[in-house]
Amino acid sequence: MATVKLDLPAPVVTGAENGYLDPAGIPATGVNVQVGTYGGRAAKQWVYAKFTGQNGSKEETAPVEVQDATTPMDFKISKAEVLKNEKQAVTFEYKVARTQGALYSDSESVPVDVEKGSPVTPPGVDGFEELALGTYSRLEREGYTIRLSSGSFIISASNNAPPQITGNHFYIDDAHSVFIDFTQPVTAFKMGCKAEYVLGYIWYADGKMTQVNLSSGAHWWEHQVVDPVPSKNAIVRITVDNRYKKILLIDNISFQPWVPIL
């Protein structure tokens, strides 16, 4: 009899909206991670939820036996562990074993920032749609420039992963850093990424930098500055470090320029 393949979509994380998890909204019982129906789900499988934060912060729930193919399963990640990562990027996922004691398979993850989010109100979303497919060394776009530390990149249309990667998109598969330099400082940005084992860096007007471990798979990378001061914490550049030579896709870039209050 053929083995049914497991297809494990991301779980539902209660309270996570638009890539943010508001710490003030986390109940004392913890963050609920719900696992619904997934491909190949059957009774007598085993499931547990996993949380991964920054600087060694992590938590795994106890494995629970699956009773049927459809009933949602809820797991709790402790509030205290999640709050260790306030204003940082974290991920939630679950793992499934076909039988007790078997190897576990990983689900897609849910990447969020543990902070109160605000809608990004960009002047528009740049999806590279009007560009000819091919090789580029640098692109001057409306409001920003995109380039590599060296060499060239490809505008491709063959690796879609909606809604983050759609139509024409940026593509590299070698060890380069991607630089996105904003024409004027911005207070927020959002872009679609599909990557594996890459680091993100946010550079501020005062020369300081924040490092972010970007999630694997297709996801939104977004960040908003709280109480922006243009000479200090407004964002002037974002960088993606593809040091492990994996396929890296970028698309649908949007941002909010800093506007002085008169």
Residue 179 lies inside a defined structural domain of this protein? yes
Q: Any idea what the Cα angle at residue 249 is, between residues 246 and 254, rounded to 5°?
A: 145
User: Residue 59's beta-bridge partner residues?
Assistant: 51
User: Whole-angstrom Cα distance, residue 144 to residue 179?
Assistant: 10
* 2 token code pair: 């053929």
Span 214-259, pLDDT tens digits: 878 888 898 888 766 666 788 999 999 988 888 999 999 999 887 6
Which CATH number does the domain housing residue 60 bear?
A: 2.60.40
Please tell me whether residues 163 and 57 are part of one structural domain: no
Range(s) of the domain holding residue 78:
12-113
The total domain count for the chain is: 2
Residue 192 lies inside a defined structural domain of this protein? yes
pLDDT tens, N- to C-terminus, the chain (262 residues)? 456 689 898 888 998 876 788 899 999 999 999 998 899 999 999 999 999 999 999 999 999 999 999 999 999 999 999 999 998 889 999 999 999 999 999 998 888 889 876 544 455 678 898 999 999 999 999 899 999 998 899 999 988 888 889 889 999 998 789 999 999 899 889 999 998 878 899 999 989 888 888 878 888 898 888 766 666 788 999 999 988 888 999 999 999 887 654 4
197, 246 Cβ separation under 8 angstroms: yes
Please tell me whether residues 143 and 96 are part of one structural domain: no
Please tell me whether residues 249 and 139 are part of one structural domain: yes
Please tell me whether residues 150 and 80 are part of one structural domain: no
Please tell me whether residues 202 and 245 are part of one structural domain: yes
Please tell me whether residues 153 and 227 are part of one structural domain: yes
Write the DSSP string, 151-212: S-EEEESS--BTTTB-SSEEEE-SS-EEEEEEEEEEEEEEEEEEESS-EEEEEETTS-EEEE
Please tell me whether residues 41 and 109 are part of one structural domain: yes
* Maximum C-alpha span of the chain: 72
User: What count of other Cβ atoms lies within 10 Å of the Cβ of residue 48?
Assistant: 18
Q: What is the pTM for the complete model shown?
A: 0.55
Q: Residue 122 phi/psi, 5° resolution?
A: -80, 160
User: Residue 170's beta-bridge partner residues?
Assistant: 155, 250
Which CATH number does the domain housing residue 243 bear?
A: 2.60.120.430
* 63 token code pair: 């494995």
- Last-in-domain residue among 79, 113, 147: 113
* 131 token code pair: 């560009």
Span 180-194, pLDDT tens digits: 999 989 988 999 999
Residues 6+ apart with CB under 8 A from 180: 144, 145, 146, 191, 237, 238, 239, 253
